[in-house]
Amino acid sequence: MPKREVDKRKTTKALRKLRRVAERASEEGGPGLTTWEKDFVEGVTERLETYGSAFRDPSKGRLEDALSARQAQITRVIDKKSRKSKADPASDAKAGDAKEERSRSSFKQRQPMRAQSVRKQGKAKTAWKPRVRDINEDVELPASEAAPAPAPVPPKPGRPSLKVIPGGKS
């Protein structure tokens, strides 16, 4: 198997980012790292320092990268978590205002054609009912079937008797 060539700059960049994320999360007022996240950061940092890469399987990411695709994604999640809690409430309000301004667009989402025609006709949207018919409603029952059958007569009390049926085997 050919030896992997991992770019040193990518390794140092990944190390720097991991350390920065861990520091930002563990700062005062930060969210802190869970034990799993601490173990992840320590393990990946150790592998990066030792081998220059934190993964070996080529199916997990690009061979020239220092982190696998999943490791990079987890690092981004931890980074986002640490940035979000670090922001002060005043900047959150500004971010909310900016979000409202972005949502006020002259472009509206297009409605399906059926919804447009119903709205133009002034019909209120009602629950959909299938146009089906119960076939049992059309069938008229004869009087004999309509009346309930009489209850069977209970057998006479006593010992059962056996009889020979004529026309049987001879």
Summarised one tens digit per residue, pLDDT across range 48-86 is: 888 888 887 778 877 778 888 888 999 999 888 888 765
Amino acid, res. 109: Q
The DSSP output letter for 5 is -
- C-alpha atoms less than 13 angstroms from C-alpha of 169 in its C-beta half-sphere: 0
What pLDDT band is residue 144 in, cutting at 50, 70 and 90?
low
Q: What is the CA radius of gyration of the chain?
A: 39
pLDDT greater than 50 at residue 156: yes
Cα–Cα dist 68/128, whole Å: 50
Cα–Cα dist 6/13, whole Å: 12
Residue ranges per structural domain of the chain: 8-82
pLDDT, one tens digit per residue, over 7-32 is 788 889 999 999 998 888 888 777 77
**Nearest partner of 48 among 33, 32, 68, 34, judged by Cα:** 68
pLDDT greater than 60 at residue 42: yes
Cα–Cα dist 27/140, whole Å: 82
Cα–Cα dist 83/30, whole Å: 8
Q: Which residues of 112-149 are buried (b: 16+ CB within 10 A; e: fewer)?
A: eeeeeeeeeeeeeeeeeeeeeeeeeeeeeeeeeeeeee
Q: Is the pTM of this model over 0.85?
A: no
DSSP 61-128: S-TTSSS-HHHHHHHHHHHHHHHHHHS-HHHHHHHHHHHHHHH--S--PPPPHHHHHHHHHTPPP---
Residue with tokens 């297009």: 110
pLDDT greater than 60 at residue 154: yes
Q: Give the pLDDT score at 73.
A: 92
pLDDT (mean) for 150-158: 86
pLDDT, one tens digit per residue, over 81-119 is 888 765 555 555 555 555 555 566 677 777 777 666 666
pLDDT greater than 80 at residue 120: no
